[in-house]
Amino acid sequence: MKLDHPHIITEGNLTYRLGELSGNSILYDFDKMLIYLEAKGKLMFGERFRIYKEDRGILLKLCNYIIKDYDSCKKDGIDPNKGLLLSGPVGCGKTSLMRLLKFLVPYQKPYSVIPSRNIVFGFNHIGFKVIEDYGNGQYFCFDDLGVEPTGRHYGKDCNVMGEILLSRYELFVNRQIKTHCTTNLNARELEERYGKRVRSRMRQMFNLVAFEKNSKDKRK
């Protein structure tokens, strides 16, 4: 893959053309993006991975967001300058999609997908430095937000992800640095977990994109 041709991506011996160049812009083809995402998904997660027809609607929103199709995002009520809060039931594919999406745009700064529970385990081991580490200028997607345990270091409890979200809010406001998250929780449950202050800031930081409540568990 050449960065002067960011719409053409090579994986092994295969080349995927995601669209066509038009001046300084790329005219993306949604169906070609889905073909690439499925191929990349099989490489990353195994041959059983596939893109499901019933997920096309949510994938269209996610793809339009990641390629910064401002007109389409506006129609969907999505702000490309905010992060993504991707919600849905267990096993619907949130984590896999967030791990895949960034490969569509190799010219953008990538984000790292980090399980929220791992961050808390790190806090339990080394303390508040963990919160400082995730409050820096890097790009992150915090996976499975809201189901991580409460942090505890030297006998003191801490809502670790709540504190990190407050730090990420300051980065968003002052430096326009985005954060992404996946969660199984709804808005009420997130407020119960993190409090009104954090929930209020989350509304400003994130675009909520949600799978249907009855989305199938793809792990079965």
Instruction: Output the pLDDT for position 191.
Output: 95
pTM over 0.85: yes
Gap between the Cα atoms of 115 and 184, Å rounded = 13
Q: What share of the chain is helix, strand, coil (3-state, %, to 5)?
A: 45, 20, 35
Answer for the pair 94, 88: CB distance below 8 angstroms, yes or no.
yes
Q: Is residue 220 part of a domain?
A: no
Task: Quick: pLDDT tens for 155-170.
Answer: 889 999 999 999 999 9
Mean pLDDT lowest among 27-31, 55-59, 176-180, 211-215: 211-215
Q: Residue 67: pLDDT above 70?
A: yes
User: What is the domain extent for residue 173?
Assistant: 8-210
Q: Residue 177's pLDDT is what?
A: 96
User: Does any domain span residue 215?
Assistant: no
Tens of pLDDT, residue by residue over 27-37, are 999 999 999 99
2 pLDDT higher than 60: no
Does 131 reside within a domain? yes
Question: Is residue 3 a part of any domain in this protein?
Answer: no
Residue 3, pLDDT score = 53
Tens digit of pLDDT for each residue in 103-137? Answer: 999 989 999 999 999 999 999 999 999 999 998 88
* Relative orientation angle of helices 196-205 and 160-175, to the nearest 10 degrees: 40
Q: Which two tokens stand for residue 183?
A: 């969660």
**Could you tell me if residue 218 is inside a domain?**
no
Please tell me what DSSP assigns to residue 103: G
Mean pLDDT of 148-159: 92
Q: Is residue 217 part of a domain?
A: no
pLDDT, average across residues 24-29: 91
Domain CATH for 61: 3.40.50.300
CA neighbor of 165 nearest in space, from 153, 154, 177, 157? 177
Give the residue, 10 or 6, on which the prediction is more confident. 10
The answer to whether residue 167 is domain-embedded is: yes
What is the C-alpha to C-alpha distance for residues 82 and 84, in angstroms, rounded to an integer?
7
- For 20, the 3-state DSSP assignment is strand
**What's the total number of domains in the chain?**
1
Residue type at 217 in one-letter notation: D
- pLDDT per residue as tens digits for the range 132-146: 999 888 999 999 999
In a domain, 116, yes or no: yes
